[in-house]
Structure formats: C-alpha cells, structure tokens
Structure 1
Amino acid sequence: MLAVICCSGCGLTAPEINEPFDVDKPPGGYTPVGFSATAQIEYEIKKRIYCDLRAAVKAANEVPVTEGPTVDRLTVKQPGQIPKSWGAQVSLSLQVDETSGLNPGVAMNQALPNAATVFGVGIANTVTTPQSFSLGFGGTVSSTATRTDKFDPYYSVEDLLKPYAPNSICAGGPPYIQNDYLWKGWVPAQSSPFIIESDLRIKEWLVGAMFVANALPSSPIPSQFRGSSATDAKSRKGDKGNEADKGKGGGESQVTSNKDTVSLEIKFIIVTSGSITPTWKLVRFSANSGSSPFFNTGRTRTHDLIITIGDPSLISSNSHLASQIGNSVSSANKANGSSNGN
C-alpha cells in the first residue's frame, strides 16, 4: 500500500529524479535563491564523484613507477602513475522510469443445474457434476514515462592534483556560497544510491588499474590515432613520458606514453512497485478474479556512472563513447521490457 501511494500517478506525468520524501529548498520548488530537490541530488552526486576522483588521482600519483617504451622492460622513471597531461572524462546518467497499469476484468456468471451421470446400476454409481456458464470482459490500460538527466564533465589530471582551496567543497566548504545564509543547518536531498553508498571505491579501482597498466604497458600509439596535432603537441610538451619517436617506415611519430586507457562503470538499479486487486465473486458476476492485478504501478531508478581516464586522444574518446553507447542500449532495452511487461 505504501509503494502504491508513493508511486501514484506514475507514468502519467513527467517523472522527478528525486523521491517523494525529498524536500525543495525553499519548499515549493525552484526560486531565484533556492534549488529543487532534484537539483540538490544532482549537485551532491556530482560533488561526491568529483571529490572521490580527486582523492583517487592523488593516491595513484603518490605511487612512484618505472616505465619504458617496450612491453617487457621498464626503464624510464616518472613521479606518479598518471601523467599530468591526461584527463578524466565522466558521464553521469540519472534515469527514472515510472509505469502504471490498469487491468479491469468482469465475468457474467450463470448457474446451471447439476448434471447426473449414472454408471451401471444403483445410486452408488451416480456421479453429480456442477455446471455453470461464464462470459468474461477485460481490458488493459498502461502508461510508461521516462526521464534521463545526463552530465558529462571533463577534468584534467593537472587540475585534480591541485591542493584544496580554503573554501573547496571537498574540504568541507559551503555547497552554495552565493546563498550560504539559506543553507546553514540544511541537509540536502540525499536519496540517490551514489550519495547513500559510503564508498564508491574509485580510489581502489584507479590505483589498481594504473598499477596493471604500468606493470604491462601497451605498444606505442601512432600519432594518427591521437586526435588533433594541437592536442598532441600540448600533451608531449607537458609530459616527458609522451615525447615522440620517429618510426622507421613513413616517419610517423609514436609516443612512448603507452599506458592503457582505463574505464570504470558503476550502476545502481532500484525498483519499487505495488498493486491493488479488489475481487468480487457473486452469484451473477465476478470481478478481477484473474491473475493480473487490477491496478499496478512502479518506479525504477537507474543511476549510472562511467569514468574514463587516459591521454586526451581519439582512442580515449572512442573508449568512453563505446561505454556510453552500451549504457544507452542497455537502458533502452530495459525500458522496452518494462513497458511490454504491463
């Protein structure tokens, strides 16, 4: 019953990212000096990911490594696992699917006399069979509404390694400096699993992934697969590990910074649903006596995070794009499956 009340109207209006118990600041929605509950949640999620990513990059670059241009011999030293010329591409997708279904059913009943069947001789061999006639009528009405909010920030490793400013949000600074007087003592909406989860383990993943990339580096990457020449020049200038070598064949430049592009995807799927089925069974008619619920409603939240860290090149961009496409296809298939289920 609680799920039905919370999801009432699901699929009939544009969904909200926030939950019904989240509160706007100030109450009533967005104002020039306030933020909706959805905006609060999205800010808190982005802040959490940004601060965890900063801590992860700092921890990874506190590990000294030795790297070389060959696959099986490490010769060149560098101060940390991640070059400062690299960057982190982040994709955050917050999707809400709300569904409602109405499945009324009525059957007209007519009682008929019992039929007696005699086998052999005697009353003991008589079998009585009840008889009745029923004519059923039914219908289905369903609705599905989907909302997806996406954010695709980019952070350079050099910026992520900078020390915290005195008013940094990652150092406990106020979330909205321009409206700080409104937020004193206020707890923002926090119903997303990205906020509830105590540890997204981004640091653990990044330190381990970069260790693997440094322990067994890939072959040098040809310059034609690294994007624009301006990006290449800046990358090679900012990182000694990215200095180019001339190829023997056509003179193509190859970079010696040959660590793998690494990606992480974290997905949370939370489903709540409820149904109500009042049933009548009378002499002349019966209602909602089938297997389908009379009224059902549901809400599915899919919160997905993709982080790709690597040289700002065509290969890193393609890797991140491939992850985004795969996530979009998965979300579309899930939404179609939910609507067909009603």
Structure 2
Amino acid sequence: MRIAQFFSVAASCALVGLGGCTTVPALSPINGTEAREDGSIPINEVVKRVKCEIYDATRDIPKEYAWFQTWGANVDLDLIANESSSITPSVAVLDPFPPFRSASLGTFSRGFSLGLGGGVATTASRTESVSFSMNFTEVHEQLNPASKVNRREAFDNCNLPKGRDLNSDLGLRQWIKSVLGPLEGGNRALLSPQPKQSTRPAAPPAFTCRQRSGAPSADCEAPLKSITHSIEFTVVKSANISPSWTLVHFKGHNGNNSLASTGRTDTHRLKITLGPTNETRSNASTQQSLREIAPAISNAVGQTLGAR
C-alpha cells in the first residue's frame, strides 16, 4: 500500500512538472543579427539578406534582358517551432517468497511482481508566416551606392554576417545565373521573347522584342513566366533521462525506455518567386483589354446614335 501511494505521489509530481515544461514557443525577434539559442531567426535580418542578395544577383544583368528589369520578387517566410515533452514512468512492486527447496528438484526462487506504468505527452507549436514583395527598381534605389536615395547603411552596406540556416549565403546569385543560362550566347533561341498574340496586324519583319535603348517593350512577353527558389532548414534538438534502480520490494523505471524526454524542432522555409511585378502585369493587361474592347464600344455607340 505504501509503495502504491509513493508511486501515485511521484507520478503526480512528475506530471505537474511536465505541464510546466511545454509552453508556447517564443516569437522570433524582429531585430537582431544572429539566431538565438532557441533557434529563432531575426526577421529583419532575413529581409536584409534577401534584398542584398537580389541586388547582387541583378545589378549586372545585361541590358538585353530588358524584360527582366521590370520583374520583382515575392518572398514567403515560414518560421515553425515545435516543442514536445513526454514522461513514461514505470515501476514494479516486488514481493519475494521464501525459496522452494526440494531434495529431488533443487532450490527454486519464488516471488510476485506487479508492473505499473503510464505516460503523458504534450506538444506546443507556433508558426510565423511573413510575406513581402519588392521590385528590382526599389531594391536598386535602396542599395546602389550611386543612387541619391540609397539606404545602404540601413542594410549594413550588405556586409552581413555569415552564420547558419537563413543567416548564411542563400545562393540567389548562382540560382538566377543558372536560370538565365539557356538565354545566353548561342542558346538564346531556346527561350527567346515572342510578340504577344493579338488580333492586330502582324508586325513588320524587322520587329524586335528589345528596343535599342534597352528599355522593355510593352508589346513583348518575357520568355519566362516566373522562377521560384525554395530553401528549407530543419534543426532537431532533444534530451532524455532514463534512471533505473532496484530495491527489495521495489524496482524503478525500466531502463530500456526514457523516463522523461523533451525536444524542439525548428523548421525555416524561404520561398522566393521572381516574376513580372503586379503593376507591370496590371498595366499590360489593362492596356490589352482596352484595345480589345475599344472596337465593341465604338460599334455600340455608333448603333445608338444611328437609332436616334
């Protein structure tokens, strides 16, 4: 009876302690320069790094890629933290009997044991999702040293620390260069800008999708609709304790399993999509729609005036 009471009290204390082990993971800091010990990433630092790498990747894009100059970036950042704790106590109540002795069979030990066990597991998670967009013109105005409105000091002049996870080199320059590779040199014909399909008369043979000044032509579509780059980091931390002891009438936790454990999993996802900015796309589609409906409006007005 005393052993059962002891087990009940010990289990209750353990469960109360477990309840205090798992709490909602802390929010990721907005400012900062390094990842904290709990795995959270300063969001402001991620924004700086993405803008600096996009600027570095697009500052020397050849002028012949006029369509690319009108593009922008949409960035989706997910910071996911999962914390878990569990306790699985087990005990055995032992009641040894006097050994059985037989002249013919020998001596045999006897006893009775009662195993008791239980378990509780708790999990807490937090997901932070941040989305922001930028166009290349904005990025170059902020980070180009020659720009009159540059804000490079706010971005630490893009001399960002080289850490781990999202605080490391994201490789955006290599990514953009590899994507534009099919457009270079003799392979340019693989993905070449084509005139938009419309009901207007065909353009003269000399029509080109790149103006001599290098400015993008509104009558051309980019050879690429959009490009996407995804990065994911996962960090798993765990700890456990497995004590074991044996007394005359009591045997402690089974050492094969952990008595208590705790862990945390941090997942950082970054998705960057490059494509025509909303403003450019909206203006182009609006102009195209107006060109298509203009004849219908003109005919409707003419019929109304003729009826009068």
TM norm structure 2: 0.62
Q: Give the superposition deviation at 1:148.
A: 1.5
Distance 1:209-1:240 versus aligned 2 partners, 3 A rule? same
2:171, 2:102 → 1: CA distance? 74
**Contact 1:10–1:299, Cα closer than 8 Å, also in 2:** no
Q: Which residue of 1 aligns with 2:206?
A: none
Identity within the alignment, %: 27
RMSD (CA atoms): 4.2
Aligned residue pair count:
234
Q: Give the superposition deviation at 1:279.
A: 2.1
Distance 1:207-1:133 versus aligned 2 partners, 3 A rule? same
1:148, 1:282 → 2: CA distance? 47
Distance 1:266-1:277 versus aligned 2 partners, 3 A rule? same
1:85 aligns with 2:63: no
1:267, 1:141 → 2: CA distance? 31
Q: Which residue of 1 aligns with 2:245?
A: 280
Q: SS where residue 289 of structure 1 aligns? A: coil
Cα deviation digits, residues 299-326 of structure 1 (max 9, x gap): 111111111112247xx9xxxxxxxxxx
> What amino acid maps onto 2:53 in structure 1?
D
Cα deviation digits, residues 194-220 of structure 1 (max 9, x gap): 12x2x2211111111122366432896
2:154, 2:257 → 1: CA distance? 50
Structure 2 counterparts to residues 3-42 of structure 1, below 5 A: 12-17=22-27, 41-42=42-43
> What amino acid maps onto 1:160 in structure 2?
V
> What amino acid maps onto 1:200 in structure 2?
L
1:288, 1:221 → 2: CA distance? 75
Q: Which residue of 2 aligns with 1:106?
A: 91
Q: Give the superposition deviation at 1:260.
A: 4.7
**Contact 2:93–2:114, Cα closer than 8 Å, also in 1:** yes
Match of 1:193 among 165, 168, 172: 165
Cα deviation digits, residues 68-91 of structure 1 (max 9, x gap): xxxxxxxxxx52376222111111
Q: Give the superposition deviation at 1:193.
A: 2.4
1:207, 1:127 → 2: CA distance? 84
1:137 aligns with 2:121: no
Q: SS where residue 47 of structure 1 aligns? A: helix
Match of 1:210 among 164, 180, 184: 180
Q: SS where residue 47 of structure 2 aligns? A: helix
Cα deviation digits, residues 17-56 of structure 1 (max 9, x gap): 45xxx9x99xxxxxxxxxxx99981211221122112211
Q: Give the superposition deviation at 1:139.
A: 1.3
Cα deviation digits, residues 165-189 of structure 1 (max 9, x gap): 4542466369xxxxxxxxxxxx99x
TM norm structure 1: 0.56
Q: Give the superposition deviation at 1:264.
A: 0.9
**Contact 1:93–1:305, Cα closer than 8 Å, also in 2:** yes
